[in-house]
Structure 1
Amino acid sequence: MKIETKFVIGNKQGIDALAFVAAATARQKFAGKISDQQLDEYISANFNPDVLMIELNSLSNQYLIIYLEGQPAGYARVTSKGTQPPMFDGKTLARIADFNVLKEFSDDAVIKSLFEKCLSLTARQQAIWINEYEFDPFLAFFENYGFKRNNNIALAKELPLASVSLVKES
């Protein structure tokens, strides 16, 4: 099984691959949890080529795509951008803001490879945090890597669904 994790480059090929895998994982993740219209609006607002180009050009973001046998299987975004909870004042901090793998590629080796690349990007930070929807299939996986649920972080996600914050401090 050939697994490769690559940084997304802000060219047409990179943006097209990211837009495809981000939209596909969003459709799988949110199907039946929000209306089709909400889902279409969410994808259009967050994963269109213009938005992705801006996001890719931000020095605060690093996007990764994991490929299985040459096919985009998932993606992640590690960032220092956005609102940071006050509990982290004075600490270096990174957030794994997106972490998604297509169900048909949801192999332990694929998930582990993508997540460990995220962790390598955040290795020098004093804290890493994740805010995910409470139905996210990777919550237990994150906890197995030492992330702890933290109810003191209130962060509104883009969609009207309950979320969970997890933190790992060094």
Structure 2
Amino acid sequence: MKALIVIGTLLLNLTIFAQSEEVLRISGKFVTKKGIQGVDTDLYFRIKDKAGKSYAYPVRISDSKLKASIQKNMKKTYTIEAIAKQKNIKINETSRFVHILDVKSATTFELKSLGISDEDDVNREPDIPYYDRENPANSKGGYRVSDKAANSIIFAAGAALLGALIVK
């Protein structure tokens, strides 16, 4: 009976604390690099970081239809869902771990889809105020303040600065 409780508790702990693999969603391009020793694939996924530096990770694609569609459209930008795994490879009798992306799905991604389409284009005033010196009536944006109000603001600011200097 004790053994059954211990085994049950062990199985319960294993199921509770088991970690599922993290699925990464990454955008980039597929590239082909041949002749790299120790890696059993010629297909790599290239991404760029914020600094503009490029990294290429070997990919493993188990779905043959997905692999065929990627081979056909190599120049397109893709968004992939992949699981990052490590593989132990040997290069000249030296063993080392390499990160491999196990691709589960891949969809093409058009950069023009980020822009505003022509249908959503709305005429609006510019966000930056524009003052037309030749014709002040054509000025857009900003606030109109009368000369009397502007002089009052300047006088009050000067008085506040003078008061701050005198207090010190």
Class of the TM-score when normalised by the shorter of the 2 chains: under 0.3
**TM-score of the superposed pair, with normalisation by structure 1:** 0.25
Task: Answer 1 or 2: which has greater helix percent.
Answer: 1
For CA contacts below 8 A with separation 6 or more, give which structure has more relative contact order.
1
